[in-house]
A and B are shown apart, each in its own frame.
Chain A
């Protein structure tokens, strides 16, 4: 069999190849999990170091009858990069060069293994950064950001990753490449880039991308607003959004989240508050004070009892470390945590938050509430002990209830983490059977062989779906 011969040739040269690394058994165990879900031991893990090697990785895996699971840093939270069945994990961490920075056009060609924060560190000398800023930005890669259409606090102002990807080269399941998008305004014909971003590796491997860079504002202020109720913080969110004040981040934390983050970072958060908003305001040296004044007025009118402006960059950084360190902070409470990213219409934010609190109370489950409030994007954080099967099952049940709340309020089950395997069983509640047929058409247009990350995003009976029971998946963080 030609395919088998080809596979054997690949195996025999593997290890000697200079552009594909392949870890041994022990290391392969590390690739069973992403940031939340443990899958099966991958049959093979390869780390291509060139586009050519990435293409070969795909064809060799297919010839061997395996599916392909693309992977970046593995910080995803929905099992998108966790392998199931007979799979080759293609880690893109060694395709990690910034190929070109075009300052005049505010773009950069990057490989998928470049870390989010590293790109901004390299471009800030030109007054430019990559807009999306997930909490994991010091670890997560741009390839992973593209796969999940990642968000972050700044996405309230700048939009998710999809608004920052102009073009990409994609390796398809047959080993061919296709270029999507364009480096000029408005690609002609169908904008297939639109579906590649957020496809969670189910359409192909992105091996390089043209990203848009955003200018760093002249003046930035970080403002902390404290409230004596969730309702007031929700009202303030609505009014700030409506006011048009140039707020670029609008993050909410409830009392339990404030307490645990403060204990972890000693950032000076208002532990007595029932809720707080952490806002970033941008402008020019001439306009920033007016922006901050307007924000303070709006927040106080909505019931903020404290509005504190960071005195310097150090204080702002401390507050942000407290917010972005929330996921590390819960490690003090339990070895595992469950985190979802459902979204609700912004005007339903308070209703959603109170519903989640009610679920926590009724199930006696402590839920720390964090939200990208400006986008209506919830981040209920549930610490638990994964070694206790009963507790694990209970947390799963609570998560399901939270996602039901989001759908019932007219929202969506994922705002920035993706569907992966953890939310795939919600797809037929979010969409009709007909809608899902057309979602499947999109997948088949790119991957008719059904080899790219099967079982993710779309539920059975998708032609590409393998049955993965989300309750069987193991949350490991």
Chain B
């Protein structure tokens, strides 16, 4: 964390701050709750911009199924507000302090992406402050929009390199009836079942399918999946001391799990191809081995969090993507002085 920490209260404040930093060539580290503060290459910055005060609900009409919020709104607050209106978004389950700006910037989706698709599919509008302090608006607040290049979606997962996300318009979904968790014996099969579960999650303790509907519909789904109701709860990786994700094709997931050391925990999102791995004690050699297995299977292993001291010896991203040159040009045009989270992306972008 740099010595100077700024918490802008609005977009105007943020623009002024960015302009000042751009003119004086001061690098900015952008943070929300800090939950993913160790994701990506280490960043050396003069100023930390904490976006948590950009926390207004700009626009929310429950019947529109769209919510427009400041980047600093927490996912806990957003989830609670949506739930009051029987709505949900594809938000990560925890921790509730995470900000929507951080969630979008890191491209983090919730378990329900099996049903709805990843969060980047649902970022329908965005307000960014670029590296020259410009306010850039893209997309809008309609659920279908092909007016210009989809910069909103491009910003999802951009790790702040295109600009500081000030506001996000997000598509949300109606909740139907209630939800239930089932114990499933074959999670791969369950993830492909005709009942289309919201999520199918596997851990060392077993596998769960999250379904929803009326009581009658849930009973019908219990029958189709031949799975009893579970007494478990959805797992969380928040307590882990270290954490990485294996991104793969869905059908490779099961085989990849066979390569995990016994001491590791995992949370596998079946049908999605995303597996969180982690635990208490990290072994860099084992992580490197698993990365090799993942990349041979056409996937990636991304390191999200490791204890201090390990970071210097571990490339967080693995093999760079094939479009690095295009990514570089985009970063340089949105942030010409290279002040936002410099070097955080693959290839040191």
Instruction: Give residues in A with beta carbon < 8 Å to B.
Output: 102, 104-107, 148-149, 151, 155, 159-160, 162-163, 178-180, 182-192, 194-195, 197-199, 215, 217-218, 238, 241-246, 284, 286-287, 290, 343-347, 372, 375-377, 410-419, 423, 427, 430-432, 434-439, 441-446, 448, 457-458
Contacts and interface: CB of A to CB of B under 8 A. Distances in A.
Contacts of B11: none
A415 B249 contact: no
B147 A412 contact: yes
A439 B157 contact: no
Contacts of B158: 190-191
6 A-B pairs closest in CB distance: A244-B174, A244-B176, A441-B333, A104-B251, A194-B153, A286-B220
A372 B144 contact: yes
User: In the complex, which of the residues B135, B320, B327 has the most CB atoms of chain A within 10 Å of its own CB atom?
Assistant: B327
A184 B64 contact: no
Given A347-B64, A412-B147, A188 B321 contact: yes
Contacts of A434: 134-136
Contacts of B272: 185
A135 B156 CA distance: 30
User: In the complex, which of the residues A218, A438, A445 has the most CB atoms of chain B within 10 Å of its own CB atom?
Assistant: A438
Contacts of B162: 190
B116 to A, nearest CB: 9
A189 B324 contact: yes
Interface string B43-85: 0000000000000000001111110000000000000000000
A188 B117 contact: no
B143 to A, nearest CB: 5
Contacts of A435: 136-138
A396 B329 CA distance: 38
Given A375-B144, A441-B333, A192 B326 contact: yes
A104 to B, nearest CB: 4
In terms of DSSP, what is the predominant structure of the interface of chain A? loop
B144 A155 contact: yes
Contacts of B145: 343, 412, 414-415
User: In the complex, which of the residues A155, A245, A445 has the most CB atoms of chain B within 10 Å of its own CB atom?
Assistant: A445
B110 interface: no
B238 interface: no
A410 B140 contact: yes
Interface string B207-225: 0000001101100110110
A329 B298 CA distance: 48
B331 to A, nearest CB: 7
Contacts of A344: 142
A301 to B, nearest CB: 15
Given A184-B298, A188-B321, A284-B194, A242 B149 contact: no
A160 B349 CA distance: 30
A166 to B, nearest CB: 10
Given A198-B149, A238-B63, A376 B217 contact: no
A314 to B, nearest CB: 24
Given A238-B63, A241-B65, A286-B223, A343 B144 contact: yes
B346 interface: yes
A438 B136 contact: yes
B110 to A, nearest CB: 13
Contacts of A437: 134
Nearest to B192: A215
B112 interface: no
Interface string B71-111: 00000000000000010000000000000000000010100
A448 B143 CA distance: 31
A419 B145 CA distance: 10
A159 B117 contact: yes
B175 interface: yes
15 contacts: A162-B121, A163-B117, A184-B247, A185-B272, A186-B107, A189-B317, A191-B158, A195-B154, A241-B174, A287-B217, A343-B143, A343-B145, A347-B64, A438-B334, A441-B334
B147 A187 contact: no
Given A105-B251, A179-B322, A186-B157, A148 B150 contact: no
Contacts of A438: 130, 134, 136, 138, 151, 333-334
Nearest to A291: B217
Nearest to B324: A189
Contacts of A446: 326, 329
Contacts of A199: 149
Contacts of A106: 250
Contacts of A347: 61, 63-64
A32 B317 CA distance: 46
A194 B154 contact: yes
Given A183-B249, A245-B176, A191 B326 contact: no
